[in-house]
């Protein structure tokens, strides 16, 4: 397989075969996201991708999981996606699931029948970045989506049987809007009731420009924000992960059964002086 770098995929797609059907992100204005800033967005020619799929199936015939890259593949025309999905199903006889990134607006641009058809063609999981449940924060970071759009998109997709994995960003709102960001994020996630929820930490890197007045949260404040989010979550059946290397502490839990234990653990951390209250604390070398 030949890829055009940079190439990104969710941690849970580590064992998936990846096909780049487009390069870059069609939106690419989010202040917090450096992933595709140096990439000019373009969609690959359909026949080129189909040929690549056919060749790859001969080399990797045992493939069961496939991830389609790059950012927001769901925004592509339905007819294009359908052809790709049909070829994947025809070429990989043991295929069980196809996943990709999606935005709320791109999901809503598809009809329910189109989503159901993609589900029948083994679309398994869509990864959606909510980032924040606060529309003020989303506007400040140039997300280009509203919480109302994203809630509706998640609900529509899950009605068709597609699994939704929703991501939120700790620290995205800075110090001033932290509490509002945390509380409203919980409310929006409750409305979505996604199958999977992930929390990553945003840290403003040197030379990285955020909105005016943004202040990076300390390690203590990030955990405090996470506590507020968890405290206000009311979910019936959601797997929660906050085990990305950017997070101060690794978390893996299931809602609702693990909520009280998780809150107790976070409360202990906030009260035992182990967290840095003046700086971001230890960070991965790439942050």
How far apart are alpha carbons 162 and 114 in whole angstroms?
12
Lowest mean pLDDT among 2-6, 141-145, 197-201: 2-6
Q: Please give the pLDDT value at position 33.
A: 85
Question: By the 8 A CB rule, do 269 and 223 touch?
Answer: yes
Homologous superfamily (CATH) of 11-271 is: Aldolase class I (3.20.20.70)
Specify the pTM: 0.93
How far apart are alpha carbons 24 and 22 in whole angstroms?
7
CA distances to 153, 173, 192, 199, 219 from 281, rounded to whole Å, are 36, 18, 32, 18, 6
Task: Report, as an integer, the average pLDDT of 263-271.
Answer: 94
Closest CA to 101 of 173, 33, 174: 33
Q: Please give the pLDDT value at position 35.
A: 84
Task: Report, as an integer, the average pLDDT of 85-89.
Answer: 98
> In which band, very low, low, confident or very high, does the pLDDT at 287 lie, cut at 50, 70 and 90?
very low
How far apart are alpha carbons 234 and 256 in whole angstroms?
7
Q: Please give the pLDDT value at position 203.
A: 81
Q: Please give the pLDDT value at position 242.
A: 84
pLDDT tens by residue, 28-81:
989 888 888 889 999 999 999 999 999 999 999 999 999 999 999 999 999 999
Q: Is the pLDDT of residue 286 over 60?
A: no
Question: By the 8 A CB rule, do 240 and 219 touch?
Answer: no
CA-based R_g, the chain, Å: 19
Choice between 170 and 251, residue whose per-residue pLDDT is larger = 170
pLDDT tens by residue, 101-123:
999 999 999 999 999 999 999 99
Phi–psi pair at 198, nearest 5 degrees: -125, 140
Q: Please give the pLDDT value at position 120.
A: 98
Cα 79 versus chain centre, distance: 24
Q: Please give the pLDDT value at position 283.
A: 61
> In which band, very low, low, confident or very high, does the pLDDT at 277 lie, cut at 50, 70 and 90?
confident
Average pLDDT of the chain? 92
How far apart are alpha carbons 173 and 166 in whole angstroms?
18
Q: Please give the pLDDT value at position 178.
A: 97
> Burial code of 157-172, b = ≥16 C-beta within 10 A, e = fewer?
bbebebbbbbbbbbbb
Task: Report, as an integer, the average pLDDT of 122-139.
Answer: 98
Task: Report, as an integer, the average pLDDT of 246-274.
Answer: 89
Cis bond upstream, residue 192 (ω within 30): no
Phi–psi pair at 124, nearest 5 degrees: -110, -50
């Amino acid at each position: 397989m030949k890829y055009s770098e940079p190439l990104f995929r969710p941690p849970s797609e580590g064992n998936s075969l990846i096909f780049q059907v487009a390069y870059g992100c069609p939106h690419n204005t989010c202040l917090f996201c450096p992933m595709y800033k140096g990439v000019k967005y373009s969609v690959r020619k359909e026949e080129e991708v189909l040929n690549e799929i056919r060749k790859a199936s001969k080399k990797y015939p045992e493939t069961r999981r496939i991830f389609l890259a790059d950012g927001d593949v769901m925004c592509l025309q339905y007819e294009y996606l359908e052809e790709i999905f049909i070829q994947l199903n025809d070429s990989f006889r043991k295929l069980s699931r196809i996943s990709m990134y999606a935005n709320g607006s791109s999901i809503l641009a598809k009809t329910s029948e189109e989503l159901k058809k993609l589900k029948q063609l083994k679309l398994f999981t869509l990864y959606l970045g909510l980032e924040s449940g606060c529309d003020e924060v989303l506007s400040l970071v140039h997300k280009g989506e509203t919480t109302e759009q994203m809630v509706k998109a998640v609900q529509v997709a899950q009605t068709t049987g597609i699994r939704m994995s929703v991501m939120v960003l700790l620290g995205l709102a800075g110090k001033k809007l932290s509490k509002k960001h945390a509380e409203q994020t919980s409310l929006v996630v409750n409305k979505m009731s996604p199958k999977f929820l992930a929390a990553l930490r945003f840290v403003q890197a040197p030379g990285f420009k955020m909105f005016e007045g943004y202040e990076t949260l300390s390690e203590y404040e990030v955990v405090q924000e996470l506590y507020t989010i968890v405290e206000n979550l009311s979910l019936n059946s959601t797997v929660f992960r906050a085990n990305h290397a950017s997070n101060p502490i690794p978390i893996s839990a299931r809602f609702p059964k693990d909520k009280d234990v998780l809150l107790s653990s976070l409360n202990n951390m906030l009260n035992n002086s182990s967290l840095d209250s003046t700086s971001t604390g230890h960070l991965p070398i790439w942050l």
